[in-house]
Amino acid sequence: MVNRLPSSGDLARFCQKLNRVKTLEEDMMETSLKRCLSTFDLTLLGVGGMVGSGLYVLTGTVARDIAGPAVVISFLAAGFASLLAAFCYAEFGARVPRTGSAYMFTYVSVGEIWAFLIGWNVILEYMIGGAAVARAWSGYLDSVFDHKIKNFTETYIGTWQVPFLAHYPDFLAAGILLIAMVFISFGAKVSSWLNHVFAAVSLGIILFILIFGFILAEPKNWSAAEGGFAPFGFSGIMAGTATCFYAFVGFDVIAASSEEAKNPQKAVPIATAISLGLATGAYILVSTVLTLIVPWKTLTPDSALSDAFNQRGYKWAGFIIAVGSICAMNTVLLSNLFSLPRIIYAMAEDGLFFQVFSKVNPHTKVPMNAILMFGSLMALLALIFDLEALVQFLSIGTLLAYTFVAASIIVLRFQKSTAEPPSPMKCQASPPPSNASLGSENNAELKEYESFSDKLQLVNKETRSTERREPGQLKATFEPYLKFLSDCYPGEVVTFAMVSIMVSAISLCSILVFGNTHLHLPTWSYTLLLVLFASGFCVSLFFIWVHEQQQKSKTFQVPLVPLTPALSILLNVYLMLKLNYMTWVRFAIWLVIGLVVYFGYGIWHSKENLREPKSHGVTARYVVFSGSSLKETVQTVQPRTQDAMGMAEAIAEEEEEQAKR
């Protein structure tokens, strides 16, 4: 029975399988997809992905039920958190111009199982997002016709009373998704052209809303008589921020489209910055106008903006806004349906998902099977699920993806670049020191270095000050003060500190969210735990900072690493913990399904698993003492497949030859 148990070596190899990273091709611009998108195309894709149902529906929902007029601050905080995440996406999209977005970024830096789980959640994010937008689109169109479509469905088809499901099937929402799926299948250029048309109309109507809305604005709607600016307090503002994240999930369509961009190194960062700035400004201004036109308690969640103008007696304005909202939601539908099959294609291309989804249509250059299959699933979700349940379920997957991308930026920055040419110090032997410089030192100090490792350190001591340190190694400035870190492998301390940051962030945010409400901690204990976990977060950040980063690259890089991604992690974790517990339950169920898919299929069909290990020569540096001179020799030995005795004999023969000389 004992013999059947896995050995420690088997467990180690299994863990290596789970954490193996993707090997990138030398020419990352080569692709089976078509590179046809410009910076302008990517910018409008990003704007279209963010400015849709979040603007026309979510503003009313959050203002009435969660934050009140302080929804303005909720959108500002969500926009700031999204900006931190967008920096990370922009750097990865420029450096790794491959489709896959957060999945691909995690795969090339953190490991395979984490990449699969992120990709699995991004798939859910896009399916839920598309279904939610279709539901909102249907609700707005229904409001234009005085809810006749809803009444007809409930009367002649029926209703149901099932938790988390809608009260009636929404055939209109499912139908618009199927129509959009057909247009997406024609290729990236057709999708981009349609997005341009709808985005132009949507931006024009947003300008109309702002101009006419500020004319009708009444500051008394923010007064204490109407409940005040923040009727739900700080907790309501932050809960609103967590939900408002749904509004900004569309910017990662830019990174997901980088494999179809003409010049991704330049286009991805510029398009990300411009689109996120425009979307954040639009959300803040529109939510300000909405809560100033009418009291926030009277808002209608499903069609807040058009109903607000209707309440003021401008029904014609409500009709224009309803038309604009439909155009804006069409851009979000196109964005979700554009990104979803490309994430699936990337996973299938790597072997982690079923190979049938990696096939690209030879004429349209799009993954047709992925579009048809998952577009239909998206339509099914829109048919049966309620909008509010869809929106809450969406935010957690987005926040988790943002967290892993931020962590991936830190890991990537402090590991050696695969594209970096090998250092000359490693390619050739160092010039032997002259007897004049070492003769006196040898007589005085050689007796102190008895072991092989001591002799090796004696040689390295002379070259350490002139050798440029690799990423992940301790900075020379801090070596006198942090000697205990200098013997660690490059990147080892960074990895442990990254884990410590994640643990500290989760612990700190848990105390902030649940310390007073659910845990009922006394003040001294609450304060002590906050100080303890905050200190752990800062110390871990310091230990990462004292190590060397990769050199500046020509592509966009996140400023203030590791501080910027660490703040993104902290904020994302806090917002995740503010979500409803049922959201976590549904999320856990989806994760379990994903793990079944990975261990049942992905781990065995992964291209990294099928890739045969290549034999590489191992370069050994050792010290030979000949007479009174000290010499360093570099010897290329055979791979590990040769037994240790043969390797030792080869080194011994070389030593004898050196001694004879």
Model pLDDT, residue 592: 93
Is 27 domain-assigned?
A: no
More confident residue, 626 or 475: 475
Nearest to 53 by CA among 189, 227, 246: 246
Boundary (domain end) residue, out of 366, 395, 414: 414
In this structure, the answer to whether residues 388 and 512 fall within a common structural domain is: no
pLDDT digits (tens, 9 = 90+) for 260-271: 888 888 888 999
How far is Cα 304 from Cα 59, in angstroms, rounded to an integer? 8
* Predicted pLDDT at 600: 93
**Residue 236 pLDDT exceeds 80:** yes
- Would residue 171 count as lying in a domain? yes
Are residue 498 and residue 405 in the same domain, yes or no?
no
Which pTM value belongs to this model? 0.75
Q: Does residue 333 belong to any structural domain of this protein?
A: yes
Q: Are residues 526 and 407 in the same domain?
A: no
Chain Cα centroid distance, residue 16: 23
**CATH number, domain containing residue 272:** 1.20.1740.10
The pLDDT, as a whole number, for residue 430 is 40
167 shares a domain with 100:
yes
Please check whether residue 383 lies inside any domain of the structure: yes
The residue type found at 273 is A
Q: Which two tokens stand for residue 24?
A: 């990138």
Shared-domain flag, residues 103 and 205: yes
Residue ranges making up the domain that contains 286: 34-414
Domain count, the chain: 2
Q: Which of 548, 567, 595 is the last residue of a domain?
A: 548
Owner of token pair 């781990």? 603
User: Over the chain, what is the mean pLDDT?
Assistant: 80
Contact 607, 347 (CB under 8 A): no
Per residue in 345-388, pLDDT (tens digit) is: 999 999 999 999 998 888 888 899 999 999 999 999 888 887 66
Do residues 288 and 176 both lie within one domain? Answer: yes
Residue 370 is which amino acid? A
Specify whether the CB–CB gap between 286 and 55 falls below 8 A.
Answer: yes
Structure tokens at 517: 């409400």
What pLDDT, on the 0 to 100 scale, is given for residue 389? 64
Q: What is the mean pLDDT of residues 130-145?
A: 79
507 shares its domain with 408: no
Q: Residue 5's pLDDT is what?
A: 64
Q: Do the Cβ atoms of 132 and 390 come closer than 8 Å? A: yes
Residues 356 and 481 in one domain: no
Q: pLDDT-based confidence at 461, cuts 50/70/90?
A: very low
What average pLDDT does the segment 58-75 reach?
89
Judge whether 52 and 282 are in contact, CB under 8 Å: no
| Distance, CA of 47 to CA of 280 (rounded, Å) | 10
Torsion of the alpha carbons at 582, 583, 586 and 589, rounded to the nearest 10: -110
- If asked whether residues 163 and 266 sit together in one domain, one would say yes
Rounded-to-integer distance, Cα 80 and Cα 567, Å:
11
Distance CA 388, CA 158 (A): 21
Establish if 604 belongs to a structural domain. no
| Residue 48: both structure tokens together | 């279209």
| Assigned domain for 95 exists | yes
Report yes or no: 239 and 66 within 8 Å, Cβ to Cβ.
yes
Same domain, 540 and 405: no
Token output for 499? 């884990």
pLDDT at 11 over 80: yes
pLDDT above 90 (res 536): yes
Q: Which of 491, 516, 548 is the last residue of a domain?
A: 548
Instruction: Please tell me the predicted confidence (pLDDT) of residue 419.
Output: 46
- In the structure, what pLDDT confidence band is assigned to residue 34 with cuts at 50, 70 and 90? confident
pLDDT of residue 26: 67
Q: How confident is the model at residue 177, as a pLDDT?
A: 92
pLDDT given at position 372: 92
Tell me how far apart the alpha carbons of residues 349 and 122 are, in angstroms, rounded to a whole number.
16
Does residue 110 share a domain with residue 41? yes
Confidence of residue 44 (pLDDT cuts 50, 70, 90): confident
Query: What confidence score (pLDDT) does residue 387 get?
Result: 66
Please give the pLDDT value at position 116.
Answer: 94
Using one digit for the tens of pLDDT, what is the confidence trace for 563-573?
Answer: 999 999 998 89
**Residue 173 DSSP code:** H
Residue 12 within any structural domain of the chain: no
Question: Residue 390: inside a domain, yes or no?
Answer: yes
Asked whether the predicted pLDDT for residue 424 surpasses 80, the reply is: no
Answer yes or no: do 408 and 477 share one domain.
no
